[in-house]
Structure 1
Amino acid sequence: MEYTQLGRTGLKVSRLVLGTMNFGPQTDEADSHAIMDAALDAGINFFDTANVYGWGENKGRTETIIGNWFAKGGERRDKVVLATKVYGNMAPDGSTPWPNHDKLSAVNIRRAVDASLKRLQTDYIDLYQFHHIDRNTPFEEIWQALDVLVQQGKVLYVGSSNFPGYKIAQANETAARVGSLGLVSEQCLYNLFERRAEMEVIPAAQDYGVGVIPWSPLHGGLLGGVIKKEVEGGRRAGGRTADALNDPAVRAQIQSYEDLLEKHGLEPGEAALAWLLTRPGVTGPIVGPRTAEQLDSAIRAVELELSEEVLAGLEEIFPGPGPSPEAFAW
């Protein structure tokens, strides 16, 4: 496994991030524990979750599964750089939400971090991430709340997720003004098919020393060889992937992508991850395996070197927008 610094910090993290969103909803606790053990054995030390994972009436379930894994001992907690998130409403599903049970007020941040720590069976979170922007809470309030948690030893670093470039700038300018470290990472939607983050999010992150952690690196399976799987196994895509493939232009684009990689003897999912690892500013993509086999495939991507011919072909099939303002102006 390869390692890199998380943004401008001294923290070393693996170039693959283990995403845990499937733990609970799609992968039971025993298999989830086995996947985390395998990830740790492979050298993956960066695990990502969120307080809302488990979803619906099972919100918090994923953190609980991870906490039970930590409780097994064997230095599991010490070896893991643990990232979780705050923003979503954690009131019991079906109940009437009370005010201040979501978003980024100081009240909710305090409540949410203590609840996550209890579910995770740990006394600190390495990277506490804002799951979304909160337009109604000033960053002065947010940083005051986080500074208290840092002083208490409950949180070590702070990151963001789904922030536009201007909010990354606003957050870190405010942090500098009040003497806080500020954001050290940004978790954003970024892959070969969806490259709009290159316009402003990634340049802002690079300017502020913020590590970029792409989520959905296979764009919901669209970049994982979906057409080939249809042909070979008769397994048709579902959900948003199926909707995307119903567009003839998208289907032709994905077919060209799969043809290119087949020509070079490459697996689509592994190539899509390897491409992200070549991108400026990227710390490492989040992979969310449902099985041990999917984890093995993701790990192979770290050692995969894409040739200049393949990189050029991918650029031709999926041309990025480029940075702003050239992406939309002269």
Structure 2
Amino acid sequence: MKYTQLGRTGLKVSRLVLGTMNFGPQTDEADSHAIMDAAQASGINYFDTANVYGWGENKGRTEEIIGTWFAKGGERRDKTVLATKVFGNMAGSGTNASWPNHDRLSAVNIRRAVDASLKRLQTDYIDIYQFHHVDRRTPFEEIWQAIDVLIQQGKILYAGSSNFAGYKIAQANELAARHGRVGLVSEQCLYNLAERRAEMEVIPAAQDYGLGVIPWSPLHGGLLGGVLKKESEGKRRSQGRSASALENTKVREQVQRYEDLLDKHGIEPGEAALAWLLTRPGVTGPIVGPRTQEQLDSALRAVDLELSEEVLAGLDEIFPGPGPSPEAFAW
């Protein structure tokens, strides 16, 4: 495994981030534990989750699965850089479901949410506590006040963002700097070959303010994972976002060109998509969410995959980026 610094911090993290969103909804506890053991054995030290994972009536379940894995001991927690998120509504069912202050980034909800996450995760601290979404109703002054308290209490070490616009990263860190705070150290954003809008402002802002960039959905919902080849071989039919996207003739033709290019060079599409992200400026490491050991093994191969200039040029031709701002908006 290869490692890098997380943004401007001294924290060393793996170039792949283990995403856990499938743990619970699609992967049972035993298999989830096996995947985490295999990931850690391979050198992955950065695990990402969120308090809402598990979804619906089972929200919080994913954190619980990680917690029972930590409880097995064997230095599992000490070897893990643990990131979780806060924003989504965690109120229970029934009349409590609509009770206020169980979501977003108010100081009261941040305090409640972090304690609940610590309990589910069976740990006494979280390495990177991330804001899952921008909260337009809560000023950053209040958010940073709450984060300061958590850092002083030893419950979290760093704060990060997810799905923030570039100007929100700037707002958050300018305010933090004025008060002598560290501010945001990472940004999780939607970024992959087929979705490159983050290159316009989010990634430049993250670079300027020293945030590590953690792309989510690196295979764009499976669209970049060899979906057409799998369909033709009868291995798997596209589902969800990728199936909807492939109904568009232009998108289907684009994906076909992508798969043909990589087939010509003997490269697996999913591995190429991850390897491409690892070449991008500012990227710390993409989030991979394997449901099986085979998918984890494929992601690990991507770390050592070096794409030739010919392949990189071909990928840019098929999936041209918008370019940085302001040029992307003007001239």
Identify the TM-score tier after normalising by the shorter chain.
over 0.9
Matched AA of 2:107: A
2: CA distance between counterparts of 1:135 and 1:326?
A: 28
2: CA distance between counterparts of 1:8 and 1:316?
A: 32
Cα deviation, residue 18, structure 1? 0.1
Residue 168 of structure 1 pairs with residue 169 of structure 2: yes
RMSD: 0.7
Contact 1:29 / 1:65 at 8 angstroms: preserved in 2? yes
Residue 126 of structure 1 pairs with residue 91 of structure 2: no
Residue 56 of structure 1 aligns with which residue? 56
SS for the counterpart of 2:78 is helix
Cα deviation, residue 179, structure 1? 1.8
Residue 247 of structure 2 aligns with which residue? 246
Residue 267 of structure 2 aligns with which residue? 266
Deviations 1:81-129 (A, max 9, x none): 0000000000124543211110000000000000000000000000000
Cα deviation, residue 256, structure 1? 0.1
Residue 70 of structure 1 aligns with which residue? 70
Residue 17 of structure 2 aligns with which residue? 17
Residue 325 of structure 2 aligns with which residue? 324
2: CA distance between counterparts of 1:243 and 1:31?
A: 29
Cα deviation, residue 245, structure 1? 0.2
Cα deviation, residue 177, structure 1? 1.2
Residue 187 of structure 2 aligns with which residue? 186
1:219-234 superposed matches below 5 A:
219-233=220-234
Residue 44 of structure 2 aligns with which residue? 44
Residue 210 of structure 2 aligns with which residue? 209
2: CA distance between counterparts of 1:94 and 1:268?
A: 45
Cα deviation, residue 58, structure 1? 0.2
Sequence identity of aligned pairs in percent?
85
2: CA distance between counterparts of 1:93 and 1:297?
A: 39
Matched AA of 1:248: T
1:97-108 superposed matches below 5 A:
97-108=98-109
2: CA distance between counterparts of 1:14 and 1:94?
A: 42
2: CA distance between counterparts of 1:277 and 1:248?
A: 29
Residue 111 of structure 1 aligns with which residue? 112
SS for the counterpart of 1:180 is coil
1: CA distance between counterparts of 2:14 and 2:236?
A: 33
Counterparts in 2 of 1:243 and 1:184: CA distance versus 1, 3 Å: same
Cα deviation, residue 235, structure 1? 2.7
Cα deviation, residue 328, structure 1? 1.4
Counterparts in 2 of 1:297 and 1:83: CA distance versus 1, 3 Å: same
SS for the counterpart of 1:184 is strand
SS for the counterpart of 2:77 is helix
2: CA distance between counterparts of 1:109 and 1:31?
A: 31
What TM-score do the two structures reach when normalised by structure 1? 0.99
SS for the counterpart of 1:160 is strand
2: CA distance between counterparts of 1:328 and 1:292?
A: 43
Return 172-181 or 67-76, whichever deviates more: 172-181
Return 10-19 or 91-100, whichever deviates more: 91-100
Residue 197 of structure 1 pairs with residue 198 of structure 2: yes
Matched AA of 1:76: R
Residue 31 of structure 1 aligns with which residue? 31
Gaps of 5+ in 2: none
What TM-score do the two structures reach when normalised by structure 2? 0.99
Cα deviation, residue 180, structure 1? 1.2
SS for the counterpart of 1:156 is strand
Deviations 1:12-39 (A, max 9, x none): 0000000000000000000000000000
Cα deviation, residue 220, structure 1? 0.3
Gaps of 5+ in 1: none
1: CA distance between counterparts of 2:261 and 2:322?
A: 21
2: CA distance between counterparts of 1:70 and 1:133?
A: 30
SS for the counterpart of 2:160 is strand
1: CA distance between counterparts of 2:229 and 2:263?
A: 10
Deviations 1:25-83 (A, max 9, x none): 00000000000000000000000000000000000000000000000000000000000
Cα deviation, residue 169, structure 1? 0.2
Residue 280 of structure 1 aligns with which residue? 281
Contact 1:165 / 1:201 at 8 angstroms: preserved in 2? yes
SS for the counterpart of 2:9 is coil
2: CA distance between counterparts of 1:118 and 1:58?
A: 16
